[in-house]
Amino acid sequence: HRGSAGTFWLLMTAGACFYLLGQLVWSFYAWVLRASAPTISLADLFWNLQTGLFFAALFYLLFREKSISQGIRFLFDCIMILLIVGTVSWEFVIRPNLQTMLSSPEGFGQAAVLSYPITDFGILLCLFVLHFAYTPLFDRRVLALITFGFVVFIGGDTVYVLDVISGKYQAGQWYDLLWSAGLFAYGFAGWYASHPEDRPVAEARFVSVARLLRLLFPYAGFAILFLLMLRRIDKPDAVVAGTVMVTVLILVRQISMLLENERLVNRLKQMLEKSEFLASHDDLSGLPNKRLFEQKAQEAIEKASLDGQPLAVLFLDLDRFKYINDSLGHVTGDELIRQVAERIRGIVPETYIVARQGGDEFTILTGPLASSRQAQALAESILRAAAEPFKVGVHEIQTSTSIGIAVYPEDGLSIADLMKHADAAMYQAKELGGGRFRFFTPTLKDGMLRSILMERALRHALDHNELFLCYQPQVCSKDMTIVGAEALLRWRNADGHLVPPSDFVPLAEDTGLIVPIGDWVIRTACRQAVEWEREGRPPLKIAVNVSPRQLVQDGFVDKVAGILKETGMASSRLIIEITEGVALQNTKETTDTLLRLKALGLHISMDD
């Protein structure tokens, strides 16, 4: 056994050893000296030590397993039960025989054996706690054996004490077997506990019944004392004194429980407040999150609609953050986000709401504005602050931010529209080079509508075979023979018009459609190369352009390997062309992907 259980069984073993020493002393008198042992002997000392160690084992286990507040409540329960049992014992057992014991020649010895029931009371208290504990401390069978052992032991002590007090005790009584049976039960319980499976899970029914008994048991004893006290209220004695003390303990216990409940309520309130804060704030920057921002913004818009005062939403995005995050690491990127949030918070008035939308995006909701110039002045202050270098660890990072501004009510009547329009203005600022702000304009709205319609048409094109490939031959300069071809993506819409790649490829990149389109391009180009070879043409190398979004998607290399296997295309004939921007990024993720593609046998080239 280990831990508190190990100490428990160690104390139980020590108690059993003291019982054995007591038996040896008793046997020495009976078998060696051929005489009756005195009423009080060294054996009684050992037996009392044995019972005390049993009590200490139970007490140690219980108070090691319980919290401080539970331990205090149990301690009050134990003291109450001790007073109740002690008072009843005094009234019906000790006091009626006290005069007889004191007048008897062996009266001192008879009084001394009362130490057995006193220590037994302690064991009874611990058994009460053990059975009514908040969670089971032992397997049910182990607990049953321990309980059986203590009950028969206490039963033997009780009959022994009654015989001694009445003067009827003689050696070799039937109840001597009870002590041996108790020790046997302890030993078997210890053996069984040393071969545990899993710690038993508290059943809901068991916990509720234990709680009910834990509450009722002390008060049931108090009710018995109170009824006894009513019969002698005019003549104060031990029963009255015991009842008064138990009453005081109950009052103190209830007061302590009320104080503990108050502490628990305050702690629960703090936990709820913390939980609400975490649910409504970004854990990295400490700023309100998107949900709280939209909630506060909606409330502000409703108030502004009544007051007739304009508001503004500013949408901020850090420039080159992905490159910083990928090249310097996520820890550096997170610290940069924290410092940017701190700078913005230091500039923005306290009445404004600053939130982190996620990633490197922030939003600001202003208070009532006299004019849009106030929003512009705030944006200019943020741009100047963001342009100052950030000291992150050993790095000094220079960055900037792009800001889009949408004003209520001109640019939208709902927070969703204002956010969407501020986002569009921010993207225009970024397209112009970043490090600047832009207000939302109707022209931007028209551009957004065109982008939405274009995205919908592009999705339709992918599903209805409107996309096709043109192949630009690659010629050997020595003998002017065709050695390969570059696959070029084209789109002929449902009206039969060609859509310029410069119109739809950037949109595909922004929306993520470039991933399924890119997969289609690789598969179609490989099939065409294999088809040409089957027609008797020389094997040609095929070059396809791959976007940065394709390179960082999970499973891209496995997808390419699957396409090669599916089409029968030799990997040495497929050329992956990447842009100069991808090569300059040189992130670990991109580099690993390119190395794995080369390991398949593919060629990597730079797109001119």
The DSSP code for 91 is I
Q: Do 181 and 69 reside in the same domain of the chain? A: yes
DSSP 274: H
- 307 and 400 share one domain: yes
Q: Is residue 231 part of a domain?
A: no
Last residue of a domain, one of 172, 202, 232: 202
397-452 pLDDT per residue, tens: 888 999 999 999 888 888 888 998 888 888 888 878 888 998 988 777 666 657 76
Among residues 405, 440, 475, the one where a domain terminates is 440
**Cα–Cα distance, 156 to 174 (Å, whole number):** 9
The answer as to whether 239 is a domain residue is no
Q: How far apart are CA 186 and CA 138, in angstroms?
A: 13
Of 137, 93, 140, the residue nearest 116 (C-alpha) = 93
Ramachandran category for residue 328: left, alpha or beta (phi over 0 → left; psi -120 to 50 → alpha):
alpha
Residues 98 and 195 in one domain: yes
Do 472 and 434 fall into the same domain? no
Are residues 53 and 185 both part of a single domain? yes
pLDDT band at 523 (very low <50, low <70, confident <90, very high): very high
Looking at this protein, which amino acid is placed at residue 9? W
Q: Are residues 334 and 467 in the same domain?
A: no
How does the average pLDDT of the chain come out, rounded?
79
Polymer length in residues for the chain: 608
Residue 127 has pLDDT above 70, yes or no: no
Confirm whether 462 is domain-assigned.
yes
Residue 204 predicted with pLDDT over 50: yes
Listed residue (494, 497, 476) closest to 485, CA to CA? 476
Among 389, 415, 440, the domain-final residue is 440
CB contact at 8 A, 285 and 338: yes
Kindly state whether residue 282 falls inside one of the protein's structural domains: no
Q: Which domain holds residue 315?
A: 290-440
- HSE-up of 225 (CA within 13 Å, CB side)? 28
Residues 420, 365: one domain? Answer: yes
CATH code at position 458: 3.20.20.450
The pLDDT score that the predictor gives to residue 447 is 67
How far apart are alpha carbons 316 and 361 in whole angstroms? 6
Whether the full predicted model's pTM is greater than 0.85, yes or no, is: no
Q: Which amino acid is at 528?
A: Q
Q: pLDDT at residue 211 above 90?
A: no
126 lies in a domain?
yes
Same domain, 430 and 457: no
State the pLDDT at residue 165: 64
CA nearest neighbour of 127 among 192, 203, 67, 57 = 57
| Strand 574-578, strand 311-318: pairing | unpaired
Q: For position 107, what pLDDT does the model report?
A: 47
- Does position 580 have pLDDT exceeding 70, yes or no? no
Q: What angle do CA 218, 220, 224 make, to 5 degrees?
A: 115
Distance from C-alpha of 384 to C-alpha of 399, rounded to nearest angstrom:
11
The percent of residues in the chain predicted with pLDDT above 70, rounded, is: 77
Answer whether residue 106 is part of any domain: yes
Any domain includes 185: yes
Residue 64 shares a structural domain with residue 141? yes
**d(Cα 18, Cα 16) in Å, to the nearest integer?**
5
For the chain, what is the domain count?
3
Per mean pLDDT, which range of 203-212, 427-436, 550-559, 560-569 is the poorest?
A: 203-212
Query: For residues 605 and 588, what is the distance between their CA atoms, to the nearest angstrom?
Result: 18
Average of pLDDT values for 536-557? 85
Residues 27, 127: one domain?
A: yes
The arithmetic mean of pLDDT across residues 204-217, rounded, is 59
**pLDDT band for position 198 (50/70/90)?**
very low
For the stretch 343-402, pLDDT in tens is: 999 999 988 999 998 888 999 999 888 788 899 999 999 999 998 999 988 888 888 999
The answer to whether residues 349 and 431 belong to one domain is: yes
Please tell me whether residues 497 and 435 are part of one structural domain: no
The CATH number given to whatever domain includes residue 314 is 3.30.70.270
Evaluate whether residue 247 is within a structural domain.
no
